[in-house]
Protein backbone atom coordinates (compact mmCIF):
# COMPACT_ATOMS: atom_id res chain seq x y z
CA UNK A 1 0.00 0.00 0.00
CA UNK A 2 2.88 2.35 -0.76
CA UNK A 3 0.89 4.81 -2.86
CA UNK A 4 -2.02 4.76 -0.41
CA UNK A 5 0.32 5.70 2.44
CA UNK A 6 1.84 8.51 0.40
CA UNK A 7 -1.67 9.77 -0.36
CA UNK A 8 -2.65 9.56 3.31
CA UNK A 9 0.37 11.65 4.33
CA UNK A 10 -0.62 14.47 1.99
CA UNK A 11 -4.30 14.28 2.93
CA UNK A 12 -3.37 14.47 6.61
CA UNK A 13 -1.38 17.64 5.99
CA UNK A 14 -4.33 19.12 4.10
CA UNK A 15 -6.61 18.17 6.98
CA UNK A 16 -4.28 19.84 9.50
CA UNK A 17 -4.28 23.08 7.50
CA UNK A 18 -8.07 23.06 7.30
CA UNK A 19 -8.37 22.48 11.05
CA UNK A 20 -6.05 25.43 11.66
CA UNK A 21 -8.33 27.49 9.45
CA UNK A 22 -11.31 26.36 11.55
CA UNK A 23 -9.48 27.51 14.66
CA UNK A 24 -9.04 30.97 13.18
CA UNK A 25 -12.74 31.07 12.28
CA UNK A 26 -13.76 30.04 15.79
CA UNK A 27 -11.53 32.66 17.36
CA UNK A 28 -12.96 35.30 15.04
CA UNK A 29 -16.47 34.53 16.28
CA UNK A 30 -15.64 34.28 19.98
CA UNK A 31 -12.55 36.26 20.99
CA UNK A 32 -11.02 38.30 18.16
CA UNK A 33 -11.11 42.11 18.50
CA UNK A 34 -12.94 43.91 15.70
CA UNK A 35 -9.67 45.44 14.51
CA UNK A 36 -8.31 42.01 13.63
CA UNK A 37 -10.79 41.36 10.81
CA UNK A 38 -8.56 42.41 7.90
CA UNK A 39 -5.49 40.56 9.16
CA UNK A 40 -7.60 37.49 9.85
CA UNK A 41 -9.00 37.55 6.32
CA UNK A 42 -5.48 37.43 4.88
CA UNK A 43 -4.44 34.62 7.23
CA UNK A 44 -7.47 32.51 6.40
CA UNK A 45 -7.11 33.23 2.69
CA UNK A 46 -3.48 32.11 2.75
CA UNK A 47 -4.31 28.86 4.53
CA UNK A 48 -7.16 28.17 2.10
CA UNK A 49 -4.82 28.79 -0.84
CA UNK A 50 -2.14 26.44 0.53
CA UNK A 51 -4.70 23.74 1.32
CA UNK A 52 -6.34 23.96 -2.11
CA UNK A 53 -3.07 23.92 -4.03
CA UNK A 54 -1.79 20.98 -2.01
CA UNK A 55 -4.96 18.94 -2.41
CA UNK A 56 -5.54 19.61 -6.11
CA UNK A 57 -1.95 18.98 -7.20
CA UNK A 58 -1.11 16.62 -10.05
CA UNK A 59 0.74 14.47 -7.50
CA UNK A 60 -2.45 13.85 -5.52
CA UNK A 61 -4.30 12.97 -8.75
CA UNK A 62 -1.66 10.39 -9.65
CA UNK A 63 -1.63 8.93 -6.13
CA UNK A 64 -5.43 8.64 -6.15
CA UNK A 65 -5.32 6.56 -9.32
CA UNK A 66 -2.58 4.30 -7.93
CA UNK A 67 -4.19 3.98 -4.50
CA UNK A 68 -7.50 3.00 -6.09
CA UNK A 69 -5.77 -0.01 -7.65
CA UNK A 70 -4.10 -0.93 -4.36
CA UNK A 71 -7.38 -1.01 -2.42
CA UNK A 72 -9.51 -2.59 -5.15
CA UNK A 73 -9.43 -6.02 -3.52
CA UNK A 74 -10.57 -4.75 -0.09
CA UNK A 75 -14.12 -4.63 1.21
CA UNK A 76 -15.66 -1.56 -0.43
CA UNK A 77 -17.16 -0.45 2.91
CA UNK A 78 -13.83 -0.53 4.76
CA UNK A 79 -11.94 2.66 5.61
CA UNK A 80 -9.27 2.66 2.90
CA UNK A 81 -11.49 2.18 -0.19
CA UNK A 82 -13.95 4.72 1.20
CA UNK A 83 -11.15 7.21 1.81
CA UNK A 84 -9.87 6.88 -1.75
CA UNK A 85 -13.39 7.10 -3.19
CA UNK A 86 -14.34 10.20 -1.18
CA UNK A 87 -10.97 11.87 -1.78
CA UNK A 88 -11.32 11.27 -5.51
CA UNK A 89 -14.76 12.86 -5.54
CA UNK A 90 -13.51 15.92 -3.64
CA UNK A 91 -10.42 16.11 -5.85
CA UNK A 92 -12.40 16.08 -9.09
CA UNK A 93 -14.73 18.76 -7.72
CA UNK A 94 -12.07 21.07 -6.32
CA UNK A 95 -9.89 20.81 -9.44
CA UNK A 96 -12.64 22.72 -11.24
CA UNK A 97 -12.27 25.72 -8.92
CA UNK A 98 -9.29 28.06 -9.39
CA UNK A 99 -7.08 28.57 -6.33
CA UNK A 100 -7.33 32.32 -6.83
CA UNK A 101 -11.11 32.09 -6.40
CA UNK A 102 -10.73 30.08 -3.19
CA UNK A 103 -8.30 32.58 -1.69
CA UNK A 104 -10.44 35.58 -2.60
CA UNK A 105 -13.66 33.94 -1.40
CA UNK A 106 -12.20 33.15 2.01
CA UNK A 107 -10.79 36.67 2.38
CA UNK A 108 -14.09 38.28 1.38
CA UNK A 109 -16.22 36.15 3.71
CA UNK A 110 -13.82 36.51 6.64
CA UNK A 111 -14.15 40.29 6.38
CA UNK A 112 -17.89 40.10 5.74
CA UNK A 113 -18.60 38.22 8.96
CA UNK A 114 -17.25 41.03 11.13
CA UNK A 115 -19.21 43.59 9.09
CA UNK A 116 -22.35 41.46 9.40
CA UNK A 117 -21.99 41.35 13.18
CA UNK A 118 -21.91 45.17 13.33
CA UNK A 119 -24.68 45.52 10.76
CA UNK A 120 -26.89 43.18 12.78
CA UNK A 121 -26.10 44.98 16.04
CA UNK A 122 -26.98 48.32 14.39
CA UNK A 123 -29.85 46.87 12.30
CA UNK A 124 -28.22 48.45 9.24
CA UNK A 125 -28.43 46.35 6.06
CA UNK A 126 -26.78 49.10 4.01
CA UNK A 127 -23.54 48.44 5.90
CA UNK A 128 -23.55 44.78 4.87
CA UNK A 129 -24.98 45.22 1.37
CA UNK A 130 -21.73 45.73 -0.61
CA UNK A 131 -20.14 42.71 1.08
CA UNK A 132 -23.14 40.49 0.37
CA UNK A 133 -23.23 41.71 -3.22
CA UNK A 134 -19.63 40.62 -3.68
CA UNK A 135 -20.35 37.26 -2.04
CA UNK A 136 -23.37 36.59 -4.28
CA UNK A 137 -21.30 37.46 -7.36
CA UNK A 138 -18.56 35.10 -6.22
CA UNK A 139 -21.06 32.30 -5.67
CA UNK A 140 -22.51 32.90 -9.13
CA UNK A 141 -19.00 32.63 -10.54
CA UNK A 142 -18.44 29.46 -8.52
CA UNK A 143 -21.48 27.86 -10.12
CA UNK A 144 -20.09 28.44 -13.62
CA UNK A 145 -17.19 26.10 -12.86
CA UNK A 146 -19.64 23.19 -12.76
CA UNK A 147 -21.53 23.66 -16.00
CA UNK A 148 -23.51 21.99 -17.38
CA UNK A 149 -26.03 21.71 -14.57
CA UNK A 150 -29.79 21.29 -14.33
CA UNK A 151 -30.15 24.44 -12.22
CA UNK A 152 -27.81 27.25 -11.20
CA UNK A 153 -28.50 26.37 -7.53
CA UNK A 154 -27.37 22.74 -7.94
CA UNK A 155 -23.59 23.28 -7.52
CA UNK A 156 -24.11 25.31 -4.35
CA UNK A 157 -26.57 22.82 -2.87
CA UNK A 158 -24.13 20.02 -3.68
CA UNK A 159 -21.52 21.67 -1.43
CA UNK A 160 -23.70 20.87 1.56
CA UNK A 161 -25.89 18.00 0.37
CA UNK A 162 -23.91 15.92 -2.14
CA UNK A 163 -25.95 14.30 -4.87
CA UNK A 164 -29.22 16.13 -4.19
CA UNK A 165 -30.71 18.35 -6.88
CA UNK A 166 -32.67 21.57 -6.50
CA UNK A 167 -35.70 19.99 -8.16
CA UNK A 168 -35.69 17.14 -5.63
CA UNK A 169 -35.66 19.56 -2.69
CA UNK A 170 -38.45 21.63 -4.22
CA UNK A 171 -40.52 18.47 -4.68
CA UNK A 172 -40.05 17.55 -1.03
CA UNK A 173 -40.91 21.06 0.13
CA UNK A 174 -43.97 21.19 -2.11
CA UNK A 175 -45.18 17.96 -0.50
CA UNK A 176 -44.89 19.17 3.10
CA UNK A 177 -45.92 22.83 2.69
CA UNK A 178 -49.70 22.22 2.42
CA UNK A 179 -49.72 19.93 5.46
CA UNK A 180 -47.69 22.38 7.53
CA UNK A 181 -49.92 25.29 6.53
CA UNK A 182 -53.02 23.24 7.37
CA UNK A 183 -51.53 22.35 10.77
CA UNK A 184 -50.73 25.98 11.53
CA UNK A 185 -54.23 27.05 10.49
CA UNK A 186 -55.77 24.44 12.81
CA UNK A 187 -53.59 25.61 15.70
CA UNK A 188 -54.59 29.25 15.09
CA UNK A 189 -58.22 28.26 15.71
CA UNK A 190 -57.39 26.38 18.91
CA UNK A 191 -57.18 27.81 22.42
CA UNK A 192 -53.73 29.40 22.87
CA UNK A 193 -51.29 27.93 25.34
CA UNK A 194 -49.52 30.01 27.96
CA UNK A 195 -45.91 31.03 27.39
CA UNK A 196 -45.55 34.44 29.07
CA UNK A 197 -43.36 32.93 31.79
CA UNK A 198 -40.63 32.31 29.20
CA UNK A 199 -40.21 36.06 28.69
CA UNK A 200 -39.27 36.95 32.28
CA UNK A 201 -35.75 37.85 33.34
CA UNK A 202 -33.50 34.78 33.58
CA UNK A 203 -29.96 35.50 34.77
CA UNK A 204 -27.17 34.52 32.38
CA UNK A 205 -25.24 32.56 35.01
CA UNK A 206 -28.21 30.37 35.83
CA UNK A 207 -29.00 29.71 32.19
CA UNK A 208 -25.36 28.87 31.46
CA UNK A 209 -25.02 26.43 34.34
CA UNK A 210 -28.29 24.66 33.61
CA UNK A 211 -27.40 24.33 29.94
CA UNK A 212 -23.95 22.97 30.74
CA UNK A 213 -25.47 20.34 33.05
CA UNK A 214 -27.99 19.31 30.39
CA UNK A 215 -25.51 18.88 27.53
CA UNK A 216 -23.12 16.97 29.79
CA UNK A 217 -25.90 14.53 30.66
CA UNK A 218 -26.88 14.18 27.00
CA UNK A 219 -23.36 12.97 26.27
CA UNK A 220 -21.24 15.94 25.22
CA UNK A 221 -17.64 15.02 26.02
CA UNK A 222 -15.96 18.00 27.69
CA UNK A 223 -12.58 16.28 27.52
CA UNK A 224 -12.83 16.64 23.74
CA UNK A 225 -14.84 19.83 23.46
CA UNK A 226 -16.02 23.04 25.07
CA UNK A 227 -18.83 25.57 24.86
CA UNK A 228 -18.46 29.34 24.47
CA UNK A 229 -20.69 32.30 23.63
CA UNK A 230 -21.03 33.88 20.18
CA UNK A 231 -23.40 36.14 18.24
CA UNK A 232 -24.81 33.13 16.38
CA UNK A 233 -24.54 29.54 17.72
CA UNK A 234 -22.32 27.18 15.73
CA UNK A 235 -20.23 24.01 15.92
CA UNK A 236 -16.71 23.62 14.60
CA UNK A 237 -14.04 20.95 14.63
CA UNK A 238 -10.31 21.35 15.15
CA UNK A 239 -9.81 17.62 14.88
CA UNK A 240 -11.19 14.39 16.28
CA UNK A 241 -10.18 15.36 19.82
CA UNK A 242 -11.41 18.96 19.85
CA UNK A 243 -15.00 19.82 18.91
CA UNK A 244 -16.23 23.30 19.91
CA UNK A 245 -19.77 24.64 20.23
CA UNK A 246 -21.16 28.06 21.02
CA UNK A 247 -24.49 29.36 22.26
CA UNK A 248 -26.27 32.69 22.58
CA UNK A 249 -27.93 33.82 25.81
CA UNK A 250 -30.98 36.08 26.01
CA UNK A 251 -31.77 37.07 29.59
CA UNK A 252 -35.34 37.92 28.63
CA UNK A 253 -36.23 34.73 26.74
CA UNK A 254 -35.37 31.42 28.35
CA UNK A 255 -35.42 29.01 25.34
CA UNK A 256 -32.72 30.79 23.31
CA UNK A 257 -29.61 29.53 25.07
CA UNK A 258 -30.82 26.09 26.12
CA UNK A 259 -32.18 24.92 22.80
CA UNK A 260 -29.27 26.55 20.99
CA UNK A 261 -26.90 24.54 23.19
CA UNK A 262 -28.80 21.29 22.67
CA UNK A 263 -28.92 21.89 18.92
CA UNK A 264 -25.16 22.41 18.68
CA UNK A 265 -24.56 19.49 21.05
CA UNK A 266 -26.35 17.27 18.52
CA UNK A 267 -23.84 18.38 15.90
CA UNK A 268 -20.94 17.95 18.31
CA UNK A 269 -21.87 14.47 19.50
CA UNK A 270 -22.02 13.36 15.88
CA UNK A 271 -18.43 14.57 15.41
CA UNK A 272 -17.23 13.26 18.78
CA UNK A 273 -18.45 9.75 18.01
CA UNK A 274 -16.91 9.32 14.58
CA UNK A 275 -14.63 6.26 14.64
CA UNK A 276 -11.13 7.19 15.80
CA UNK A 277 -9.71 5.23 12.87
CA UNK A 278 -10.90 8.11 10.65
CA UNK A 279 -8.89 10.72 12.57
CA UNK A 280 -6.95 13.20 10.38
CA UNK A 281 -8.72 12.07 7.22
CA UNK A 282 -11.37 13.46 4.89
CA UNK A 283 -13.77 10.94 6.41
CA UNK A 284 -13.64 12.53 9.87
CA UNK A 285 -16.72 14.62 9.13
CA UNK A 286 -20.46 14.27 8.81
CA UNK A 287 -21.93 12.63 5.71
CA UNK A 288 -23.72 15.85 4.73
CA UNK A 289 -25.37 18.85 6.33
CA UNK A 290 -28.84 17.27 6.13
CA UNK A 291 -27.53 14.27 8.07
CA UNK A 292 -25.77 16.65 10.46
CA UNK A 293 -28.89 18.76 10.89
CA UNK A 294 -30.98 15.65 11.41
CA UNK A 295 -28.94 15.04 14.53
CA UNK A 296 -28.98 18.59 15.86
CA UNK A 297 -32.74 18.78 15.31
CA UNK A 298 -33.30 15.28 16.71
CA UNK A 299 -31.60 16.18 19.99
CA UNK A 300 -33.07 19.68 20.10
CA UNK A 301 -36.67 18.79 19.29
CA UNK A 302 -37.52 15.11 19.47
CA UNK A 303 -35.54 14.84 22.70
CA UNK A 304 -35.20 18.36 24.10
CA UNK A 305 -38.77 19.54 23.53
CA UNK A 306 -40.36 16.26 24.62
CA UNK A 307 -42.50 15.85 27.74
CA UNK A 308 -40.36 13.02 29.10
CA UNK A 309 -37.19 15.10 28.78
CA UNK A 310 -38.69 17.80 30.95
CA UNK A 311 -40.21 15.40 33.45
CA UNK A 312 -36.56 14.70 34.29
CA UNK A 313 -34.98 18.17 34.00
CA UNK A 314 -37.75 20.55 34.99
CA UNK A 315 -37.32 20.24 38.79
CA UNK A 316 -33.67 21.30 38.39
CA UNK A 317 -34.66 24.31 36.30
CA UNK A 318 -37.26 25.39 38.86
CA UNK A 319 -34.63 25.26 41.61
CA UNK A 320 -32.44 27.68 39.63
CA UNK A 321 -35.33 30.03 38.76
CA UNK A 322 -37.92 29.61 41.57
CA UNK A 323 -39.44 33.10 41.31
CA UNK A 324 -40.02 32.73 37.57
CA UNK A 325 -41.15 29.10 37.43
CA UNK A 326 -42.21 28.16 40.95
CA UNK A 327 -45.90 28.53 40.10
CA UNK A 328 -45.62 27.00 36.60
CA UNK A 329 -46.38 23.28 36.53
CA UNK A 330 -44.69 20.81 34.17
CA UNK A 331 -47.66 20.52 31.79
CA UNK A 332 -47.87 24.29 31.39
CA UNK A 333 -44.12 24.56 30.86
CA UNK A 334 -44.13 21.78 28.26
CA UNK A 335 -46.93 23.40 26.27
CA UNK A 336 -45.20 26.78 26.60
CA UNK A 337 -41.90 25.68 25.06
CA UNK A 338 -43.89 24.14 22.21
CA UNK A 339 -46.05 27.21 21.65
CA UNK A 340 -46.89 27.69 17.96
CA UNK A 341 -46.80 31.29 16.85
CA UNK A 342 -45.26 32.70 13.68
CA UNK A 343 -42.13 34.56 14.73
CA UNK A 344 -39.38 36.60 13.14
CA UNK A 345 -36.35 34.57 14.18
CA UNK A 346 -35.63 31.23 12.51
CA UNK A 347 -33.50 29.76 15.30
CA UNK A 348 -36.31 30.41 17.79
CA UNK A 349 -39.12 29.21 15.53
CA UNK A 350 -41.46 26.49 16.74
CA UNK A 351 -41.45 23.16 14.96
CA UNK A 352 -44.70 23.83 13.10
CA UNK A 353 -43.47 27.02 11.42
CA UNK A 354 -39.72 26.38 11.19
CA UNK A 355 -39.65 24.87 7.72
CA UNK A 356 -41.47 27.89 6.28
CA UNK A 357 -38.48 30.02 7.31
CA UNK A 358 -36.26 27.66 5.32
CA UNK A 359 -38.46 27.68 2.22
CA UNK A 360 -38.42 31.47 2.25
CA UNK A 361 -34.62 31.57 2.34
CA UNK A 362 -34.21 29.00 -0.40
CA UNK A 363 -36.54 30.99 -2.67
CA UNK A 364 -34.49 34.14 -2.06
CA UNK A 365 -31.19 32.39 -2.71
CA UNK A 366 -32.42 30.88 -5.97
CA UNK A 367 -33.75 34.26 -7.11
CA UNK A 368 -30.42 35.91 -6.30
CA UNK A 369 -28.48 33.34 -8.32
CA UNK A 370 -30.91 33.51 -11.22
CA UNK A 371 -30.59 37.28 -11.24
CA UNK A 372 -34.32 37.74 -10.66
CA UNK A 373 -33.67 39.98 -7.62
CA UNK A 374 -30.79 42.18 -6.46
CA UNK A 375 -29.07 42.30 -3.10
CA UNK A 376 -30.05 45.93 -2.52
CA UNK A 377 -33.73 44.94 -2.55
CA UNK A 378 -33.40 42.12 -0.03
CA UNK A 379 -34.86 43.88 3.05
CA UNK A 380 -38.09 44.64 1.21
CA UNK A 381 -38.24 41.22 -0.45
CA UNK A 382 -37.55 39.51 2.86
CA UNK A 383 -40.33 41.42 4.59
CA UNK A 384 -42.80 40.69 1.79
CA UNK A 385 -42.04 36.97 1.93
CA UNK A 386 -42.33 36.92 5.73
CA UNK A 387 -45.77 38.47 5.39
CA UNK A 388 -46.72 36.00 2.68
CA UNK A 389 -45.41 32.90 4.46
CA UNK A 390 -46.04 33.71 8.11
CA UNK A 391 -48.34 36.72 8.18
CA UNK A 392 -45.85 38.94 10.01
CA UNK A 393 -43.44 41.70 9.00
CA UNK A 394 -40.07 42.37 10.70
CA UNK A 395 -39.78 45.72 12.43
CA UNK A 396 -36.12 46.12 11.43
CA UNK A 397 -33.26 44.49 9.50
CA UNK A 398 -31.81 42.79 12.59
CA UNK A 399 -34.88 40.63 13.08
CA UNK A 400 -35.33 40.34 9.33
CA UNK A 401 -32.78 39.95 6.57
CA UNK A 402 -29.73 40.24 8.86
CA UNK A 403 -30.66 37.60 11.42
CA UNK A 404 -28.58 34.71 10.03
CA UNK A 405 -24.79 34.45 9.81
CA UNK A 406 -24.81 32.13 6.79
CA UNK A 407 -24.69 34.65 3.96
CA UNK A 408 -21.72 36.47 5.49
CA UNK A 409 -19.88 33.15 5.24
CA UNK A 410 -20.95 32.64 1.63
CA UNK A 411 -23.07 29.63 2.55
CA UNK A 412 -25.75 30.01 -0.09
CA UNK A 413 -27.13 26.51 -0.55
CA UNK A 414 -26.98 25.58 3.13
CA UNK A 415 -30.44 26.55 4.37
CA UNK A 416 -32.42 23.71 2.69
CA UNK A 417 -30.46 21.19 4.75
CA UNK A 418 -32.18 22.39 7.95
CA UNK A 419 -35.62 21.39 6.70
CA UNK A 420 -34.24 18.20 5.18
CA UNK A 421 -32.64 17.51 8.56
CA UNK A 422 -36.02 17.86 10.25
CA UNK A 423 -37.51 15.33 7.87
CA UNK A 424 -34.66 12.82 8.21
CA UNK A 425 -34.62 13.20 12.01
CA UNK A 426 -38.15 11.80 12.22
CA UNK A 427 -37.28 8.88 9.95
CA UNK A 428 -34.29 7.99 12.12
CA UNK A 429 -36.31 8.51 15.30
CA UNK A 430 -38.93 6.03 14.15
CA UNK A 431 -36.20 3.45 13.61
CA UNK A 432 -34.62 4.11 17.01
CA UNK A 433 -38.00 3.74 18.72
CA UNK A 434 -38.75 0.54 16.81
CA UNK A 435 -35.50 -1.06 17.97
CA UNK A 436 -35.59 0.40 21.49
CA UNK A 437 -39.12 0.16 22.91
CA UNK A 438 -37.92 1.55 26.27
CA UNK A 439 -36.64 4.77 24.72
CA UNK A 440 -39.19 7.11 26.29
CA UNK A 441 -38.73 5.63 29.76
CA UNK A 442 -34.98 6.04 29.40
CA UNK A 443 -35.39 9.72 28.50
CA UNK A 444 -37.75 10.29 31.43
CA UNK A 445 -35.09 8.79 33.72
CA UNK A 446 -32.36 11.01 32.28
CA UNK A 447 -30.61 8.05 30.68
CA UNK A 448 -29.47 9.11 27.22
CA UNK A 449 -26.69 6.57 26.83
CA UNK A 450 -28.74 3.95 24.91
CA UNK A 451 -29.90 6.58 22.40
CA UNK A 452 -26.39 7.98 21.90
CA UNK A 453 -25.00 4.44 21.58
CA UNK A 454 -27.55 3.52 18.90
CA UNK A 455 -26.92 6.69 16.92
CA UNK A 456 -23.17 6.27 17.23
CA UNK A 457 -23.26 2.70 15.95
CA UNK A 458 -25.69 3.37 13.11
CA UNK A 459 -24.80 6.90 12.01
CA UNK A 460 -21.98 8.70 13.78
CA UNK A 461 -19.12 6.21 13.63
CA UNK A 462 -19.16 6.14 9.82
CA UNK A 463 -18.29 9.82 9.43
CA UNK A 464 -18.47 10.64 5.73
CA UNK A 465 -17.55 7.17 4.47
CA UNK A 466 -20.91 6.83 2.75
CA UNK A 467 -23.09 9.08 0.59
CA UNK A 468 -25.91 10.74 2.55
CA UNK A 469 -28.55 8.88 0.54
CA UNK A 470 -26.80 5.61 1.40
CA UNK A 471 -26.69 6.50 5.12
CA UNK A 472 -30.44 7.19 5.11
CA UNK A 473 -31.07 3.93 3.25
CA UNK A 474 -28.84 1.93 5.61
CA UNK A 475 -30.50 3.37 8.72
CA UNK A 476 -34.15 3.69 7.71
CA UNK A 477 -34.43 1.34 4.74
CA UNK A 478 -35.87 4.16 2.66
CA UNK A 479 -35.12 7.41 0.80
CA UNK A 480 -35.96 10.82 2.26
CA UNK A 481 -39.66 10.61 3.08
CA UNK A 482 -41.68 13.51 4.53
CA UNK A 483 -44.56 11.50 5.98
CA UNK A 484 -42.88 10.40 9.26
CA UNK A 485 -42.01 14.01 10.06
CA UNK A 486 -45.49 15.31 9.32
CA UNK A 487 -47.04 12.51 11.38
CA UNK A 488 -44.76 13.44 14.26
CA UNK A 489 -45.76 17.12 14.07
CA UNK A 490 -49.47 16.41 13.69
CA UNK A 491 -49.54 13.91 16.57
CA UNK A 492 -47.52 16.19 18.85
CA UNK A 493 -49.62 19.30 18.33
CA UNK A 494 -52.85 17.38 18.40
CA UNK A 495 -52.02 16.59 22.00
CA UNK A 496 -50.78 20.05 22.95
CA UNK A 497 -53.67 21.99 21.34
CA UNK A 498 -56.45 19.38 21.63
CA UNK A 499 -56.98 19.45 17.87
First and final CA of the chain: distance in angstroms?
63
Work out whether strand 243-247 and strand 235-237 pair parallel, antiparallel, or are unpaired. antiparallel
Q: How many residues does the chain have?
A: 499
In the beta sheet, which residues pair with residue 229?
247
Question: Are the beta carbons of 401 and 125 closer than 8 angstroms?
Answer: yes
Delimit the domains of the chain by residue range. Answer: 2-148, 166-497
Write the pLDDT tens digit of every residue in 310-334.
Answer: 999 999 999 999 999 999 999 999 9
Per-residue model confidence (pLDDT) at position 1: 86
Per-residue model confidence (pLDDT) at position 232: 84
What is the distance, to the nearest Å, from the Cα of residue 363 to the centroid of all Cα atoms in its chain?
A: 19
Question: Are the beta carbons of 342 and 390 closer than 8 angstroms?
Answer: yes
**By C-alpha distance, which of 160, 183, 181, 163 is closest to 365?**
160
| Positions of the chain with pLDDT lower than 70, given as ranges | none
User: Known catalytic residue: 13?
Assistant: no
Per-residue model confidence (pLDDT) at position 320: 98
Question: Are the beta carbons of 51 and 91 closer than 8 angstroms?
Answer: no
- Can you tell me whether residue 229 is helix, strand or coil? strand
- Can you tell me whether residue 228 is helix, strand or coil? strand
Q: Which of 264, 300, 363, 365 is labelled catalytic?
A: 264
Q: In the chain, how many H helices and how many E strands?
A: 21, 3
CA distance 153 to 167: 10
Per-residue model confidence (pLDDT) at position 349: 93
User: From start to end of 302-347, where are the E strands?
Assistant: none
HEC readout, 170-226: HHHHHHHHHHHHHHHHHHHHCCCCCCHHHHCCCCHHHHHHHHHHHHHHHCCCHHHEE
**By C-alpha distance, which of 325, 316, 347 is closest to 213?**
316
Per-residue model confidence (pLDDT) at position 271: 97
Q: What is the DSSP letter of 255?
A: H
Phi, psi of 96 (to 5 degrees): -80, -15
166-497 maps to CATH 1.10.340.30: no
**355 exposed, middle or buried (CB, 10 Å; 0-12, 13-18, 19+)?**
buried
Amino acid sequence: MEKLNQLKNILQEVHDIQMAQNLLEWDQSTNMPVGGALDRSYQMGTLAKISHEKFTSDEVGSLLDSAAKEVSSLNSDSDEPCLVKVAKKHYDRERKVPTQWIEKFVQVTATAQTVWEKAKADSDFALFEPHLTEIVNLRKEYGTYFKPYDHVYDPLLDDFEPGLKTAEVQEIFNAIRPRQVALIDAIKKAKPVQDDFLYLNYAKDGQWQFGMNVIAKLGFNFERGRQDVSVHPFTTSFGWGDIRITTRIDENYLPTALFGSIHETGHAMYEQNIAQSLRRTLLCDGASMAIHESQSRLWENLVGRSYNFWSHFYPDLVKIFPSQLGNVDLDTFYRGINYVKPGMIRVEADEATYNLHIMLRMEIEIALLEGAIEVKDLPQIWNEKMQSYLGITPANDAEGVLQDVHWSGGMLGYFPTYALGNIVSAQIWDKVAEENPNLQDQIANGNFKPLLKWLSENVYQHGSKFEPKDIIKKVTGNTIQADPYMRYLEDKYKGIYNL
